[in-house]
Structure 1
Amino acid sequence: MAVKETSITYIDGKMGRLFYRGYSIFDLAEFSSFEEVAFLLWKNKLPNMRELESFKKTMSEHRDLPDQVMEYLTNVDPSSNPMDVLRTAVSMIGTADTSQDDIMTKSIKLTSKIPTLITAFQRIRSGEQPIPPDPSLSHASNFLYMLSGEKPTEIEERAMDVALILHADHEMNASTFACLVIASTLSDIYSSVIGGISALKGPLHGAANSEALKMFLEIGSPEKVEEYVYKRLSRKERLMGFGHRIYKTYDPRAIILRSYADKVTKLKGNHHLYEIARKVEDLAVRTLGEKGIYPNVDFYSGLVFYSLGFSPGFFPTVFASSRVVGWTAQVMEYLNDNRLIRPKAIYVGDVEKPYVPIEDRS
């Protein structure tokens, strides 16, 4: 049963098509930017030049973190799960935000701050100082700048921008539904996003990209792919980054990210990982394609994030930094005609059991 009607995202799983507000993901990935896509998902239209420049300026003005959040990142156990740290820090941002701003403004603030939060914690736990945001840079470029301290190349910036676009929304999934359940009680947007982060932390939802990367690293060289793949399939083990509940052909996001994985691995000197991925893909598609099992977005996204400098444990946080746009857009749409989400459960237990006093229980 559908939880709501939506005009935000449409997925054609049979044909491998994905649309944001009616626009093909292929067009958005080729011509658009993350800021433009965020504007589209939140406001249901593509911005003109003046609107986009104003929107980008607003986003850049909200990148700084509250002092108490920076203090928390500095003092938290560096071995903490990055998603736990993200969840707690978002809660702290919500506590610090005592404004009467509408959900749209709070969503912009949160989307702008999360990259600062992620990069600060990755640098702190690596023994490095956080790098303040640069308001002159785009969202994607600033994200990478705060991670490394160097302004990214054009290829790196575009790869990051496209990866964020592709992860921005994906209709009704576990984390989005978690956000809606919380929002339907008329709780605040920060609480809803915390629910989404908590759901995305689960390995069945947000960890497949790091597992796919781990698979490539474990294989080690293209020459070992065939043995590895056939051994896993003979043991009926999953190939990470393959298969999707909705797509019965190629996930269009995987097709788009594949070309960027090729470019950034060449740039970073780890192109052998891309060659491994392509060989795994070709072999697995020949074996599993007739069953409708093809690469999904996670197959290449981890390789892109890794090549851009993110530690594998931070991949789900990068996912969340983009999906926060979709979560909040879906919440705002749902609240236009809100109904408390109150699902039923099917009871299968006993009834009319006799109560036994405690002294008579064996």
Structure 2
Amino acid sequence: MKSGLEDIVAAETKLSDVDGTAGRLIIRGVSLDDLVATSRFEDVAALLLDGLFEEHSDAASIRAQLGVARVELFTHVKAADAVLLALPPVEAMRALLARIEDGENFATAIRLMAAPAVFLPALLRLQKGEKPIKPDASLSQSADILRMLTGKAPTPQQTAGLDAYLVTISDHGLNASTFASRVIASTHAGLTSSVLAAISALKGPLHGGAPGPVLDMLDAVGEPANARAWLSQALDHGERLMGFGHRIYRVRDPRADALKMALRPIFESGQADAGRIALAEAIEAAALALLKERKPDRPLETNVEYYTALLLDALGFPRNAFTGVFAIGRTVGWIAHAREQMLDGRLIRPQSRYVGPLPKAA
């Protein structure tokens, strides 16, 4: 028995391969670098879902179907009452997703991919006392998300930045939320149930709830010159440096570099404070040097959370919504794994080892 199922192979998949030693992520035979450079969200959705449903849909078809679904799903926003709006955004989004009928077909998959893209921006506006903005079916998923969030047409750099993020986090092996999705799918409960289970796992702070504190760290450091002293004090108090270290990667997380590259055009075009990325780079350099000095036996490199925080902040998402944005991108991966499990897998039923007290003889 290994705690946390460490190194236990629980599924065979054709969807993604995470090589933690080499720092490499492959999605359906395409390296992450190539995928981010050439793909939008709809492209990676077509790639991941290919062959998992009776329907064959290319990126253009998926874009059109997502647009129609976003408009149809907007009616569910009116169910967001005061109780729901008092919840954290990802929990409120999960509650609205539960309104989608369960099913195992492609139509359900489309609705589940479109739903968080509609619900999260609407909920964020409602929580600020603003009116939700109706989706525009003619736009891409990323462009429409940003338009519904801000009320303005996004720039090409902003749309490309969000596309890069959604592509980067679309799938990542058998992480906790994906495993939860596959467990539910193995019972044939339906895709909605699988996605709801996955979101419930994602919102835990040990999985998808960590990018926000990266910005808290940047705010606390304030200036590049303060980086080493502030980080040293944090380590002296036993605090974790947010955005560094990963359960799988023993080298730099390849997703960190992909998102850093996606950030550049936004800052260089003056659409965000250029000093922010300069501060982030100074903190990153100081943190990596200190971690190497303090913990030479532990491979602690920059992970996906670090530049996720900067990118989503630059795009206008509030910190408490970062986990919800993660769910928008990862839902397609959860659906692909759920379908793969339904088609090729068995009911997931591991054994447990009893270590409690034995009954006493009379």
**1:148 aligns to what?**
150
**2:4 aligns to what?**
none
**2:312 equivalent to 1:305:** yes
**1:315 aligns to what?**
322
**1:37 aligns to what?**
44
For 1:12-91, what aligned pairs fall within 5 Å after superposition? Answer: 12-43=19-50, 51-66=58-73, 69-91=76-98
**Residue-by-residue CA offset, 1:311-354 (whole Å, 9 max, x unaligned):** 11110000001100000101111112231111222211111147
Offset, 1:184:
1.0
Q: How far apart, in 2, do the equivalents of 1:330 and 1:159 lie?
A: 25
* SS of alignment partner, residue 18 of structure 1: strand
**Residue-by-residue CA offset, 1:113-171 (whole Å, 9 max, x unaligned):** 21110000000111111111112211111110110111111110100000000110101
Q: How far apart, in 1, do the equivalents of 2:247 and 2:133 lie?
A: 39
**Residue-by-residue CA offset, 1:45-74 (whole Å, 9 max, x unaligned):** 9xxxx9332221111111025476222225
Q: How far apart, in 2, do the equivalents of 1:16 and 1:201 lie?
A: 25
Q: How far apart, in 1, do the equivalents of 2:48 and 2:117 lie?
A: 19
**2:275 aligns to what?**
272
**2:5 aligns to what?**
none
**1:231 aligns to what?**
233
Q: How far apart, in 1, do the equivalents of 2:97 and 2:71 lie?
A: 13
For 1:160-199, what aligned pairs fall within 5 Å after superposition? Answer: 160-199=162-201
Moved more, 63-72 or 220-229: 63-72
Query: Conserved in 2, the CA contact under 8 Å of 1:34 and 1:161?
Result: yes
Aligned-residue CA RMSD (Å): 1.9
The residue identity in structure 1 corresponding to 2:67 is S
The residue identity in structure 1 corresponding to 2:308 is S
**2:222 aligns to what?**
220
**Residue-by-residue CA offset, 1:202-223 (whole Å, 9 max, x unaligned):** 1111111111122112222222
* SS of alignment partner, residue 249 of structure 2: coil
The residue identity in structure 2 corresponding to 1:312 is R
CA 1:44–1:253 in structure 2 vs 1: closer, same or farther (change >3 Å)? farther
Identical-pair percentage:
36
Query: Conserved in 1, the CA contact under 8 Å of 2:228 and 2:287?
Result: no
**Residue-by-residue CA offset, 1:263-287 (whole Å, 9 max, x unaligned):** 3345344332222211121112223
The residue identity in structure 1 corresponding to 2:274 is H
**2:291 equivalent to 1:284:** no
- Select which of 2, 11, 15 maps to 2:9: 2
In structure 1, the gaps of 5 or more residues are 356-362
Query: Conserved in 2, the CA contact under 8 Å of 1:206 and 1:316?
Result: yes
* SS of alignment partner, residue 12 of structure 2: coil
**1:359 aligns to what?**
none
Moved more, 148-157 or 267-276: 267-276
In structure 2, the gaps of 5 or more residues are 1-7
**2:40 equivalent to 1:11:** no
Offset, 1:173:
0.5
Q: How far apart, in 2, do the equivalents of 1:4 and 1:91 lie?
A: 27
Give the TM-score normalised by structure 2. 0.90
Moved more, 117-126 or 289-298: 289-298
Q: How far apart, in 1, do the equivalents of 2:59 and 2:75 lie?
A: 31
**Residue-by-residue CA offset, 1:168-205 (whole Å, 9 max, x unaligned):** 01010111111111111111110111000100111111
- Select which of 137, 140, 156 maps to 1:138: 140
For 1:90-101, what aligned pairs fall within 5 Å after superposition? Answer: 90-94=97-101
**Residue-by-residue CA offset, 1:83-129 (whole Å, 9 max, x unaligned):** 211111111123xx7xxx64332111111121110000000111111
Query: Conserved in 2, the CA contact under 8 Å of 1:250 and 1:295?
Result: yes
Q: How far apart, in 1, do the equivalents of 2:264 and 2:301 lie?
A: 19
**2:121 equivalent to 1:108:** no
The residue identity in structure 1 corresponding to 2:304 is V
Q: How far apart, in 2, do the equivalents of 1:67 and 1:36 lie?
A: 24
Query: Conserved in 2, the CA contact under 8 Å of 1:69 and 1:89?
Result: yes
Q: How far apart, in 1, do the equivalents of 2:60 and 2:331 lie?
A: 21
**2:258 equivalent to 1:251:** no
Q: How far apart, in 2, do the equivalents of 1:313 and 1:176 lie?
A: 22
CA 1:145–1:67 in structure 2 vs 1: closer, same or farther (change >3 Å)? closer
* SS of alignment partner, residue 19 of structure 1: strand
Query: Conserved in 2, the CA contact under 8 Å of 1:65 and 1:117?
Result: no
Query: Conserved in 1, the CA contact under 8 Å of 2:125 and 2:131?
Result: yes
Q: How far apart, in 2, do the equivalents of 1:67 and 1:226 lie?
A: 47
**2:352 aligns to what?**
345
Query: Conserved in 2, the CA contact under 8 Å of 1:221 and 1:273?
Result: no
The residue identity in structure 2 corresponding to 1:335 is M
CA 1:353–1:211 in structure 2 vs 1: closer, same or farther (change >3 Å)? farther
CA 1:313–1:114 in structure 2 vs 1: closer, same or farther (change >3 Å)? same
